[in-house]
Amino acid sequence: MSNFSPLLLLMNLHRV
C-alpha cells in the first residue's frame, strides 16, 4: 500500500 500513496498524491495534484 506504500506504493499507492504516491500515486494517489500525484493524481490529486494533477486534478487541481
The pLDDT tens digits of the residues spanning 1-16 come to: 577 888 899 998 877 7
Q: Report pTM.
A: 0.15
Determine the Cα angle at 16 with ends 5 and 3, to 5°.
10
Looking at residue 1, its pLDDT comes to 57
Distances (CA, A) of 2 to 8, 10, 15, 16: 11, 14, 21, 23
Query: What is the chain's Cα-based Rg?
Result: 8
Please, what's the b/e burial string for 1-14 (b: 16 or more CB within 10 A of its CB; e: otherwise)?
A: eeeeeeeeeeeeee
Residue type, 14: H
